[in-house]
Amino acid sequence: MAQGLLASFVHVDAAADAIRALRARGVRGLVVYSAAPNHEIEEALEHRVSPVRLITLIGGLTGCAAGFGMTLWMSHDWPTLVGGKPIGSIPPYVVIAFELTILLGALSTVAAVALFSIVMGRRGVPYDPRFSDDRIGVFVPAAPDQAKQVEHLLRSAGAEEVRHA
Partner 1 sequence: MSAAAPPHPTAHAGHLITQTHADVTRDVVGTLSPPTRGYVLLLLGAVSLFLLGIVTFLVLVKDGLGHAGYQPPIFWSVYITTFVFWVGIGHAGTLISAILFLFRSPWRTAVYRSTEAMTVFAVMTAGLFPIIHIGRQWIFYWLLPYPNSRFLWPNFKSPLIWDVFAIATYLTVSTTFLVFGLVPDVAAVRDKASGWRKTIYQAVSVGWKGTDNQWRHYSRAYLYLAALATPLVLSVHSVVSWDFAVSIVPGWHGTIFAPYFVAGAIYSGIGMVITLIIPLRRALRIEHMITADYHFDNLGKLTLLTGSILFYAYGMEYFVAWYSGNIFEQTTFYRRAFGPYWWAGWTMIICNAFVSQLLWFRKVRTNLTSLFVISIFINIGMWFERFVIIVSSLSNDYIPWAWDQLNPTWADWGILAGSFGWFGMWFLLFAKNFPIVAIQEIKEMIPMPRKRGGHH
| 136 makes contact with partner 1 (CB under 8 A) | yes
Q: Which of 4, 5, 7, 33 touches partner 1 by CB under 8 A?
A: 33
Please give the size of the binding site for partner 1, defined by CB under 8 A: 70
Give 92 or 152: the residue with its C-beta nearer to partner 1: 92
Q: Within 10 Å of residue 162's Cβ, how many Cβ atoms?
A: 18
Please give the helix or strand (H or E) that residue 65 lies within, else none. helix 52-77
SS3 content of the chain, % helix, strand, coil (to 5): 55, 10, 35
Give the Cα separation of 119 and 3 in Å (integer). 21
Buried b (16+ CB within 10 A) or exposed e, 82-118: eeeeeeeeeeebeebbeebbeebbeebbebbeeeeee
Q: Which of 26, 133, 143, 144 touches partner 1 by CB under 8 A?
A: 133
| 134 makes contact with partner 1 (CB under 8 A) | yes
Q: Beta partners for 141?
A: 4
Task: With contacts defined by CB under 8 A, name the span among 20-28, 47-55, 142-150 that binds partner 1.
Answer: 47-55
| 125 makes contact with partner 1 (CB under 8 A) | yes
Give the Cα separation of 70 and 160 in Å (integer). 59
Amino acid at 64: C
| 89 makes contact with partner 1 (CB under 8 A) | yes
Binding site for partner 1 (CB under 8 A): 10-14, 30-43, 45, 47, 49-50, 52-53, 56, 60, 70-71, 74-75, 77-78, 80, 82-83, 85, 89, 92-93, 95-96, 98-100, 102-103, 105-107, 109-110, 112-114, 116-118, 121-122, 125, 127, 129-134, 136, 158
